[in-house]
Structure 1
């Protein structure tokens, strides 16, 4: 349990810190949500306030008609409308008009009244089979582009007719669905918008001023350009960091009344999406608000991250302190064991050194005896014996540098060939993967490579100075075959350049030494092929797993 205490301490403190960081993160997200909902409600209040202002204008116009018993001439209506300064005070309002309600077949009477008020003839259109007619008889501002709207029967359009029929049933205002303003008159420019209708009833009395006029019964309506209306409402200072979408009823592309030009921030996704339902003149709208890049969260998102990092650092510090205490306790406990083992290790090292020295002396004596038995004089013995001792020394040096662990086959070849041919070996002589050799294999292959190189230099052209400057006549490549305990080192030694090469009639000590090292020392195989163009030696030895 003492061993796992630092890990347990780290996990416990880290979990507590991450839990606190998680609570801080969720608190930050909740604060951002609350702040944005307040911002969205502010934007919604601006929209509702602007719509109420426009609808109050429609109610004022309705009061004007009621006060005059419906007898409003075009001049009086135009003067009333001009005094309102629509462009300045009611941006988004396309205009206010009056629809005369009549039965189908009574169009001639309405056309006479329109001629009387406007001074020009306007036919009622389009043709219809419906029982009622609601043509436009008054509209302001009546600029040249709106002249053709006089006489247009709104009852023929299904969207407008639905709102008009609702207005027939009560005295409330009723909004239409989404319409294209100007489309019915063939105007060059159309606007997405909506209409609001209010019923106007004026009964004819015997003592009316203008008894020649027929009784008036119809609808006042206001036409709104959606984009201008909502942009004006949302452009009040301070500007709100919201992207707004307004739909007539359900959220569908065909019902989109308005969409802000400023795009929402994608990093928030739908996490801060605020949806609201409002009722405008009896019709329900869906309003969506999303934050823009100008929206700033009430607290930085870096605080939970910093809190979590601080907790992890604290957990790591506590775990390290616990770990150091554990190590100090273990160090005291192991001090006695180390003292006892040190003497045993010294004895083992002395025994290992005695064993290695004994093996080296035995190998040196064997080489000396064999070299002496094949030498013709002291000079030849001294030269051959020195070269072989240098090869052994090179192998010993490589093992010493690696602390008697492993020696690289490529490095061993470079050292042994360098002693015979010189240190500057041309590129391309050696090729093969990295192979690490143990002590026995290193010493045996070191002598083997030395003898092969010496024979190549003595009897062939592979090691000549001129040949080594260009494409070398000596090539050594190796590969690994098999895996695990079946690993095998396959090495090919190829000498080129000799002519009419034949197998020697007598086997020298160098060849015997090579064969003994490969077959007996390393339990491998060696095959020599004397070809017309040179010598090829194939060596295969097993490698420990």
Structure 2
């Protein structure tokens, strides 16, 4: 079964994406399945989520068949929803229907764009593997390195698909309407894509923590002088930690915009961290998120997916989050693997806006 899944992810799906004669029929079949599922669940789907099955269809079509087929599913979903949902329902005015369709088109387009970047990264990893096969096939050491690359590639691809599937289902579960679902999903996929790109550029050894913090939070920092400062020695965090940490930072930044320091003109977020080396492989890691200048915040009455992502942190992490009169204070501590660490003096850097 494992070999079958590996062959599907590494060989079958890329071949489908490279052949339009296969890719577009696959996308059409996915759309038909989504439309039938929508009709079957029509009596159970809440009115606020008319596009739920089509969001999933867009995501699957882009992952399996490519960008063009994914855009085809977006267009077909718009036509289907207009003809068989909005025109057939008396609950929506023409203006409401137009706004809902426009929001779906925008968010679905963002999903296609993010998954397109993930597909390109998968293709580049496959091409890199093929290139290494040609260079290292005559060397026993090369064969060992090639096997390690294959194992890492399979691990990363399966983790990527599992995380995406989990984010889709959980984001839909905790979202009240189509716009909030699509917006939350696209932001989380973008944060995960940032972490994956940083890990891939270092041959899967890990990601630079300094780059991870800046690249993840840069799209969220509001305009103004010194709205975010970072302080800490640059170091390498493992790939699984980088993915989870990027999602955690994204959720903290999103909450700061909605409720915390970044919702006020003078609010500031300070991100600091440190590494205490325990031995050659392990380091005790601590990261602190500290908001100031924001409105008083309190423990949310209902735990959404964002709170779950923050409080769960990353594997083996201990997360402490408190709500103060200035904003949120969050500390994450864990022992992590660090096979490669570049030590520098702690420095404070103002995030440009």
TM-score normalised by L of structure 1: 0.34
Gaps of 5+ in 2: 1-134, 339-353
Distance in 2 separating the partners of 1:402 and 1:414: 17
Decide whether the 8 Å contact of 2:283 with 2:337 is kept in 1.
Answer: yes
Partner of 1:444: 244
Structure 1 residue 474 and structure 2 residue 269: aligned?
yes
Partner of 2:289: 493
Distance in 1 separating the partners of 2:209 and 2:136: 42
Partner of 1:535: 328
Gaps of 5+ in 1: 1-334
- What root-mean-square deviation, in Å, do the aligned CA atoms of Structure 1 and Structure 2 show? 2.8
Q: 1:428 offset after TM fit, Å?
A: 6.5
Q: 1:509 offset after TM fit, Å?
A: 0.6
Distance in 1 separating the partners of 2:178 and 2:254: 19
Structure 1 residue 379 and structure 2 residue 174: aligned?
no
SS of the residue corresponding to residue 445 of structure 1 reads helix
* Cα distance change, pair 358–428 in 1 and its aligned pair in 2 (3 A): closer
TM-score normalised by L of structure 2: 0.52
* Cα distance change, pair 392–447 in 1 and its aligned pair in 2 (3 A): same
Partner of 2:310: 514
* Cα distance change, pair 337–444 in 1 and its aligned pair in 2 (3 A): closer
* Aligned ranges 1:291-330 → 2 under 5 Å: none
SS of the residue corresponding to residue 389 of structure 1 reads helix
SS of the residue corresponding to residue 476 of structure 1 reads strand
Partner of 2:298: 502
Query: Which deviates more, 410-419 or 498-507?
Result: 498-507
Distance in 1 separating the partners of 2:231 and 2:175: 35
Decide whether the 8 Å contact of 1:524 with 1:541 is kept in 2.
Answer: yes
Q: Quick one: higher RCO (CA 8 Å, sep 6+), 1 or 2? A: 2
Structure 1 residue 369 and structure 2 residue 169: aligned?
yes
Q: 1:370 offset after TM fit, Å?
A: 0.5
Decide whether the 8 Å contact of 1:478 with 1:490 is kept in 2.
Answer: yes
* Aligned ranges 1:268-417 → 2 under 5 Å: 338-339=138-139, 346=146, 348-417=148-217
Distance in 1 separating the partners of 2:168 and 2:142: 38
Q: 1:526 offset after TM fit, Å?
A: 0.7
Partner of 1:463: 262
* Cα distance change, pair 341–442 in 1 and its aligned pair in 2 (3 A): same
Distance in 2 separating the partners of 1:355 and 1:425: 41
* Cα distance change, pair 423–488 in 1 and its aligned pair in 2 (3 A): farther
Greater gyration radius: 1
Distance in 1 separating the partners of 2:184 and 2:143: 43
* Aligned ranges 1:36-435 → 2 under 5 Å: 338-339=138-139, 346=146, 348-421=148-221, 426=226, 429-435=229-235
* Cα distance change, pair 530–437 in 1 and its aligned pair in 2 (3 A): same
Q: 1:486 offset after TM fit, Å?
A: 6.0
Decide whether the 8 Å contact of 1:417 with 1:453 is kept in 2.
Answer: yes
Distance in 2 separating the partners of 1:489 and 1:336: 36
* Cα distance change, pair 340–534 in 1 and its aligned pair in 2 (3 A): closer
Q: 1:544 offset after TM fit, Å?
A: 1.9
SS of the residue corresponding to residue 298 of structure 2 reads coil
Q: 1:452 offset after TM fit, Å?
A: 0.7
SS of the residue corresponding to residue 368 of structure 1 reads helix
* Cα distance change, pair 532–341 in 1 and its aligned pair in 2 (3 A): closer
Decide whether the 8 Å contact of 2:188 with 2:247 is kept in 1.
Answer: yes
Distance in 2 separating the partners of 1:336 and 1:474: 48
